[in-house]
Amino acid sequence: MLSIEDQKFISEEMKISLKSIDSKFNECSLLPYKKQLEAAISFFIYSIRTQNKLGYKLEASSYLDSPAEKEINKYYAELSEIFGETEATFVLDSLRHAFCSFAYNGLHQLFTCQENEAWYPKIILDEELKPNDINELPSVITLYRGTDIAEFNSRNYGQSWTTCKNLAHDFAFKHYAGQPWFKKSERIVLETKISKEYAYFSHQSCEFEVAIDTSKITCVKKTT
């Protein structure tokens, strides 16, 4: 079991849902590896804390791994050799990516560079993430999200939306088409409107992303 201190680091500093980790680790295929995966997380956190205590600062022009990244990647390489070609190795790799991102440049890097093709620890923003371009948004934003029909039916919406309908369509029907879980018949594009005061993050280039407080969503419809 993760220590209270580690749980606080994950949920308060990294904004990662502990439930998303716990539910994954309790899957039948991962139960035999649960203690090792939890130990890996504790080591990753220790590496980041040690890096912070040493006063490490990211150099914008540097492409080298930070001290914590080096330790995390080394630990991953050694443990993945033990796990072999199992589900635990793929989960460990997702955790490695998440913690390396945070070690490199904090929550901003973790949130903007998360990978969602397969399982990834769920990041839930509960405050504004800077830098952003929220001020450039209109007072009421029209947003789109490419997702699964189950999300619409459950009304349990993800935070990441886009102001570009075409991009939402790509996320619904193209980006994940090669994944084993993908079923085109169950993919949809959603549309909603929300006040920009409920935006936690915006980056209006590339994916034109807006991350929002989903508790403020009032009306969502399916669109084409």
* Under 8 Å between Cβ of 119 and 94: yes
Q: How confident is the model at residue 159 (pLDDT cuts 50, 70, 90)?
A: very high
Q: How confident is the model at residue 128 (pLDDT cuts 50, 70, 90)?
A: very high
Q: Which residue type is seen at 107?
A: L
Q: Quickly tell me which residue has 């589900």 as its tokens.
A: 87
Report, in angstroms and rounded to the nearest whole number, the Rg of the chain calculated over CA atoms.
18
pLDDT at 1: 87
What's the pLDDT tens digit per position in 76-125? 999 999 999 999 999 999 999 999 999 999 999 999 999 988 899 999 99
Number of H helices, E strands in the chain: 7, 6
Q: Pairing between strand 187-195 and 220-223?
A: antiparallel
What's the pLDDT tens digit per position in 142-158? 999 999 999 999 999 99
pLDDT at 85: 95
What's the rounded Cα separation, in Å, for the pair 203 and 210? 7
| Omega of the bond leading into 131 within 30 degrees of 0 (cis) | yes
Which uninterrupted H or E stretch holds 170? helix 165-173
CA dist 154 → 61, 111, 204 (Å): 44, 24, 28
Q: How confident is the model at residue 178 (pLDDT cuts 50, 70, 90)?
A: confident
Give this prediction's pTM.
0.92
What's the pLDDT tens digit per position in 36-74? 999 999 999 999 999 999 999 887 767 789 999 999 999
* Under 8 Å between Cβ of 209 and 201: yes
Residue 192 clears pLDDT 80, i.e. is over it: yes
Domain ranges of the chain: 4-112, 134-223
Q: Pairing between strand 160-162 and 187-195?
A: unpaired
* Under 8 Å between Cβ of 27 and 21: no
Residue 188 clears pLDDT 80, i.e. is over it: yes
